[in-house]
C-alpha cells in the first residue's frame, strides 16, 4: 500500500530501523527485535528546546517519490542506482537535511541486499551529517551498533551503543543485555556483568520474569569467575522458570563441584527417570554416584539397563563396574556373570583373580582354582599373593594339600610385607598338618576323598 512521500520522509527513520531489526539475519543473536519494543514508547529527548522542523523541497520530494516506487517493488539495484544519481546531483536534493534522507534510503537498500559494510557507511554519514535531527542520529547509532555486532566489529559496536546509552532517556532491559553481550565479546567481563544485572534488575523491579537469555549470560559470567554458589542459584531459577534438561544436568554438575552429592544425585535421578540420560558417560557417572552413596544395587540396575538400551557399551571396564556393583549388592551370581564377560575382554588376569575370590565365596572351589590358575597364567595381577592365597584355599577345600602348599608358598614369595606373609604361613602349617592327618587315616583303611581339582 503506497503512502505519500512527505509522510514517508517524516517516518523514514523509524521505518528503516524497524525493518533493519525485523529482517536482520536471524541466526545472529545480537540483532533482535529489542529496539522495536522501545519504539512503542515515545522518547523524550534532552534537547527539548524548540527548533525549526526540517522539510524536503518539491524537487527532491519528486525524485524520492519515484525511488519509493522501486523500493516497494524491492527493485534494490534500480533503487540504489537512482539514489546514487540523486546524491551525485547538486540540484536535486541539495540541503543538508535532504542529503540525510538520501543516506537513510541508501542504508536501507544496502541492508536489504545484505551488504552490511555499505549499510554501515551510509548510516555513518547520517550520524555525521549536519542536517541530521538529533533524534534520528540517536536512533541510527543504535542501528549501527547492531550492524557492527552483526559484522563482529564489537569495538565499534560498543562505541556506538555507549554513545546511544549516554543520550537515550529510556533504556530498556533488552538494550542493557545487548550492551552486556558486546562487552562479553570484548572480554570486558566486569562491565558485561554490571550490564546484564541491570537488565535483570530492570525486569524484576517491574514484576516481570527476567528473560531466559539474561540469566544465561549471567550464569556464564559467574561460572568464568568460578563463583559456583551464585551459578547454582541462577541455575535453580532457570530449572524453575525455564525448565530444560540441559539446565538440570548443569545444576547436577555444579552440585558436584560444591560436593553437594545428595543434591547432585537427586537432580541426576530426576533426569534419569525422564529418560534424558542417553550417553554412556552420563549413565556411568550416575552409577558411580550410587556406588559412592553405598547403593550398589541401584548402580547395577542402571548400568544393566544402559547396556540393554544400547547406551552403555559392554566393554571390559563397564562390565567390571557392573560386576563390582552386583558384588557389593551381594548378588554374587549376577556379579559372576558380569565379571566372566568382562574377563573375556580383559588384557590382564585381574578379573580372573577377582572371579576366583567370588567363586570361593560361593563354594565353587573347582571354579575358584581354575580362575586363579588362569589369572596366574595371564599375568598382570595386581596382588598375585592374594590370587595364590585364594588358589591355595580352593585346593585345601578340594583335599589337594600338596598343591595347596605349593600355592601358599608362591603367595608367601609374592607377599610385600609381614602382614601379607602371615596368612600363607598359617595356611602352609594347616595344610601340612591336615594333609598328614588325612593320609594317616587313608593308611589305616579309611575312605578319605582324594584330591578333586581335576
Q: pLDDT per residue over 147-174, tens digit each? A: 999 999 999 999 999 999 999 999 999 9
Averaged pLDDT, 283-293: 94
Q: What is the CATH number of domain 1-28+59-169?
A: 1.25.40.10
Averaged pLDDT, 283-299: 95
pLDDT at 84: 86
SS3 content of the chain, % helix, strand, coil (to 5): 75, 0, 25
Q: How far apart are CA 286 and CA 299, in angstroms?
A: 7
Using 50, 70 and 90 to split pLDDT, how confident is the model at 52?
A: low
pLDDT at 63: 84
pLDDT at 54: 67
- Closest among 163, 107, 175 to 137, alpha carbons compared: 163
Higher pLDDT, 49 or 447: 447
H or E element: which one contains 208? none
Q: What is the CB-side half-sphere exposure of residue 381 using CA atoms within 13 A?
A: 27
Computed on alpha carbons and rounded to an integer, the radius of gyration of the chain in Å comes to 40
pLDDT at 267: 94
369-373: which pairs have CB atoms within 8 A and are 24 or more residues apart? Answer: 369/394, 369/395, 369/398, 369/453, 372/407
Q: How far apart are CA 322 and CA 304, in angstroms?
A: 7
pLDDT at 24: 30
Averaged pLDDT, 252-279: 93
Per-residue CA distances from 264 to 120, 246, 250, 280 (Å): 49, 14, 10, 18
DSSP 260: -
* Residue whose grid cell is 562491565: 191
Q: From the DSSP assignment, how many helices (H) and strands (E) are in the chain?
A: 23, 0
Tell me the percentage of the chain whose pLDDT exceeds 70: 88
The mean pLDDT of the chain is 86
- Could you tell me which residues come within 8 angstroms of residue 36 by beta carbon, excluding any fewer than 6 positions away? 17, 18, 21, 22
Averaged pLDDT, 3-19: 33
| Per-residue pLDDT reduced to its tens digit, 432-447 | 999 999 988 888 888 8
Report pTM: 0.71
Q: How far apart are CA 214 and CA 221, in angstroms?
A: 11
DSSP 226: T
Averaged pLDDT, 109-138: 93
Higher pLDDT, 267 or 454: 267
Sequence spans of domains, the chain: 1-28+59-169
pLDDT at 34: 35
pLDDT at 445: 83
pLDDT at 53: 56
Q: How far apart are CA 173 and CA 288, in angstroms?
A: 43
- Closest among 430, 431, 392 to 411, alpha carbons compared: 392
pLDDT at 85: 84
Amino acid at each position: 500500500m503506497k503512502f505519500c512521500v512527505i509522510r514517508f520522509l517524516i517516518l523514514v527513520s523509524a521505518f528503516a530501523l524497524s525493518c533493519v531489526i525485523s529482517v536482520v539475519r536471524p541466526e545472529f543473536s545480537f540483532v533482535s527485535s529489542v529496539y522495536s519494543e522501545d519504539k512503542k514508547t515515545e522518547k523524550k529527548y534532552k534537547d527539548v528546546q524548540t527548533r525549526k522542523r526540517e522539510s524536503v523541497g518539491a524537487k527532491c520530494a519528486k525524485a524520492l517519490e519515484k525511488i519509493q516506487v522501486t523500493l516497494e517493488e524491492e527493485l534494490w539495484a534500480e533503487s540504489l542506482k537512482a539514489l546514487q544519481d540523486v546524491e551525485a546531483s547538486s540540484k536535486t536534493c541539495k540541503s543538508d537535511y535532504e542529503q540525510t534522507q538520501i543516506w537513510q534510503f541508501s542504508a536501507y537498500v544496502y541492508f536489504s541486499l545484505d551488504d552490511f559494510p555499505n549499510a554501515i557507511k551510509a548510516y555513518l554519514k547520517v550520524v555525521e551529517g549536519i542536517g541530521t535531527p538529533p533524534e534520528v542520529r540517536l536512533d541510527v547509532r543504535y542501528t549501527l551498533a547492531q550492524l557492527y555486532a552483526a559484522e563482529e566489529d564489537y569495538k565499534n559496536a560498543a562505541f556506538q551503543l555507549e554513545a546511544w546509552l549516554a543520550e537515550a532517556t529510556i533504556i530498556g532491559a533488552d538494550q542493557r543485555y545487548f550492551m552486556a553481550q558486546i562487552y562479553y565479546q570484548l572480554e570486558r567481563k566486569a562491565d558485561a556483568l554490571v550490564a546484564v544485572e541491570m537488565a535483570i534488575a530492570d525486569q524484576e523491579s517491574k514484576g516481570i520474569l527476567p528473560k531466559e537469555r539474561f540469566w544465561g549470560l549471567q550464569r556464564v559470567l559467574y561460572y568464568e569467575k568460578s563463583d559456583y554458589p551464585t551459578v547454582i542459584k541462577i541455575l535453580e531459577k532457570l530449572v524453575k522458570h525455564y525448565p530444560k534438561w540441559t539446565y538440570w544436568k548443569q545444576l547436577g554438575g555444579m552440585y558436584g563441584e560444591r560436593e553437594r552429592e545428595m543434591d547432585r544425585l537427586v537432580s541426576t535421578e530426576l533426569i534419569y527417570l525422564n529418560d534424558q540420560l542417553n550417553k554412556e558417560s552420563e549413565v556411568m557417572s550416575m552409577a558411580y554416584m550410587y556406588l559412592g552413596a553405598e547403593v550398589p544395587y541401584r548402580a547395577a540396575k542402571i548400568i544393566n539397563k544402559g547396556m540393554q538400551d544400547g547406551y552403555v557399551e559392554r566393554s571390559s571396564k563397564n562390565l567390571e563396574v557392573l560386576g563390582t556393583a552386583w558384588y557389593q549388592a551381594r548378588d554374587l551370581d549376577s556379579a559372576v556373570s558380569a565379571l566372566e564377560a568382562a574377563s573375556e575382554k580383559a588384557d590382564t588376569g585381574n578379573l580372573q583373580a577377582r572371579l576366583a575370590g567370588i567363586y570361593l565365596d560361593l563354594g565353587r572351589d573347582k571354579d575358584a582354582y581354575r580362575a586363579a590358575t588362569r589369572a596366574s597364567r595371564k599375568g598382570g595381577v595386581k596382588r598375585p599373593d592374594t590370587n595364590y592365597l585364594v588358589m591355595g584355599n580352593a585346593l585345601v577345600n578340594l583335599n589337594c594339600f600338596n598343591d595347596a602348599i605349593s600355592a601358599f608358598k608362591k603367595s608367601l614369595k609374592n607377599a610385600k610385607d609381614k602382614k601379607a606373609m602371615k596368612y600363607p604361613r598359617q595356611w602352609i602349617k594347616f595344610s601340612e598338618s591336615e594333609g598328614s592327618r588325612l593320609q594317616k587315616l587313608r593308611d589305616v583303611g579309611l575312605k578319605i576323598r582324594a584330591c578333586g581339582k581335576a
